[in-house]
Structure 1
Amino acid sequence: MNLTLVTTLCFLLFSFTTYFPLPFVSSSFPSSPTDADLIVKDIHGNPVVPSGRYFIWPEFLVSGGGFRLGETENSTCPFTVLQDYSNLGHGLPVKLTPQNQPSSDDPITRGLHLDIAFDYKPDCAESSKWLMVEAENEFPTPWLAIDGTGKNVHDGWFELTRYKRSGYLIFFCYKNDGCIYLSRKNDKNGMRLVYETDGDGDALGAVFVKDDDAARARISSVV
């Protein structure tokens, strides 16, 4: 066996058996989020589940309080979903239900198609389910309301994605189109939550607070 062949065989043996550090071998293959990374969590790190009731607050409580219902335009029923101006307002708790697994209590994950509804319904409303509605010459962009307004309703669902340090963006997704995050614009009765179309709204980084954990959350260093 000549020297060249011996050298080649030794090199191949070295290549197949030598361990290379992980950063070396993975530099060309970006990692994907694990299942645990995709789980939506409340501000104390617990998974958000369909059976739970949660307040939705702005991240770090830096701009306003929780979500509630209010009257807008000429309505005599509190159909419109608003954010309280005061960061002391807890708002109303909501439930998040996956559209394709309504009977399961598996943790909510990012990108899941969701229905969101308040755990309270005014007598004048048909349901407390969140809807994206619009009406010509009433408000310049679609806004969030509950069922019964009589406005034009967009067909779609909600999704969550990570935002900044510990919050989530809430997206509304058209059934046959793309998704755009919820933002907020000042309304005389509170900060109206809108499906932003012109890019000048204030993106809402939201956190989830278990309904029986609001007092502890208020003094938590997380928010």
Structure 2
Amino acid sequence: MKTLLVFLLFTSVSLSFAEKSPDQVRDIDGKLVRSGTEYYILPVFRGMGGGLTLAPTRNKSCPLDVVQANLEVDNGLPLKFTPVDPKKGVIRESTDLNIIFSASSICIQSNVWMLEEYKGQLIVTAHGVSGNPGQETISNWFKIEKFDQDYKLVFCPTVCDFCRPVCGDIGVKIDENGNRRLAISDVPFKIMFKKA
């Protein structure tokens, strides 16, 4: 009897210390955001631009960078999320994932988001590599985190145990040509997800 009591006590203590899964990300209708399903990323605050899309921002046609559409009525381009474990069907907060635009472009590039340095800024561009988590793809992994009652995007990948990436919130920075480019910023871009 003592052995059974000790086992039950140990089991209940072990269960209380078990890691809780991160919360599931939800779209504007309250439904779960799912891997492989197309969504638009939209700003919470309307009147300050539209959804996310691709545009040439470097005074040449390629590569394309991730920008916020200038017009509020523009939902941008549909995109998909792929978690580190592609078998997972639901997207969870604070977990590494690839973000991939579903549309094709004139540039020969993958449309997978990645962080890249350009003119002293860390900007979000779209010629990364999907999957293959590790040191070689560290710049291709983003996270969705809760921000007040909405969400924000964060670059702080954990797909490499010994890597020490720069971490930061993704915000909107307006460049010299008026492009609303996504980049590491002190001011997070407050977003929501709408099924395409």
Pick the TM interval, shorter chain.
Answer: 0.7 to 0.9
8 Å Cα contact 1:78/1:122 also seen in 2: no
TM-score, structure 1 as length reference: 0.67
User: Residues 128-173 of structure 1: CA distance to partner in whole angstroms, max 9, x if unpaired?
Assistant: 10011113xxx2311011118xxxx9724111111122x2110012
Query: In the TM superposition, what is the alpha-carbon distance from 1:189 to its structure 2 partner?
Result: 4.6
Query: In the TM superposition, what is the alpha-carbon distance from 1:78 to its structure 2 partner?
Result: 5.4
Q: Which runs of 4+ in 1 moved over 4 A?
A: none
Q: 1:193 aligns with which of 165, 170, 182?
A: 182
8 Å Cα contact 2:62/2:107 also seen in 1: yes
The reply on whether 1:94 has 2:107 as its aligned counterpart is no
TM-score, structure 2 as length reference: 0.75
The 2-side partners of 1:82 and 1:190 are apart by 7
Q: Mark the CA change 1:193 to 1:179 in structure 2 (over 3 Å): closer, same or farther.
A: same
Corresponding pairs, count: 164
Q: Which residue of 1 aligns with 2:145?
A: 161
Query: In the TM superposition, what is the alpha-carbon distance from 1:39 to its structure 2 partner?
Result: 0.7
Q: Which residue of 1 aligns with 2:60?
A: 75
The 2-side partners of 1:204 and 1:158 are apart by 14
Instruction: Give the 5 Å matches for 1:82-161.
Output: 82-99=67-84, 101-105=85-89, 107-135=90-118, 139-147=119-127, 155-156=138-139, 157-161=141-145
8 Å Cα contact 2:41/2:52 also seen in 1: yes
The 2-side partners of 1:61 and 1:170 are apart by 18
The 2-side partners of 1:34 and 1:104 are apart by 16
The reply on whether 1:38 has 2:27 as its aligned counterpart is no
8 Å Cα contact 1:70/1:189 also seen in 2: no
Query: In the TM superposition, what is the alpha-carbon distance from 1:112 to its structure 2 partner?
Result: 1.3
User: Residues 12-52 of structure 1: CA distance to partner in whole angstroms, max 9, x if unpaired?
Assistant: xxxxxxxxxxxxxxxxxxxxx975x7010001100000021
8 Å Cα contact 1:71/1:189 also seen in 2: no
Q: Which residue of 1 aligns with 2:172?
A: 184
Structure 1 unaligned spans of 5+? 1-32, 212-223
8 Å Cα contact 1:143/1:193 also seen in 2: yes
Q: Which amino acid aligns with 2:60?
A: S
Structure 2 unaligned spans of 5+? 1-18, 129-135
Q: Which residue of 2 aligns with 1:14?
A: none
Q: Which amino acid aligns with 2:145?
A: T
8 Å Cα contact 1:38/1:110 also seen in 2: yes
Structure (1 or 2) with the larger CA radius of gyration: 1
The reply on whether 1:54 has 2:44 as its aligned counterpart is no
The 1-side partners of 2:100 and 2:80 are apart by 6
8 Å Cα contact 2:153/2:188 also seen in 1: no
Q: Over aligned residues, Cα RMSD in angstroms?
A: 2.3
The 2-side partners of 1:113 and 1:154 are apart by 12
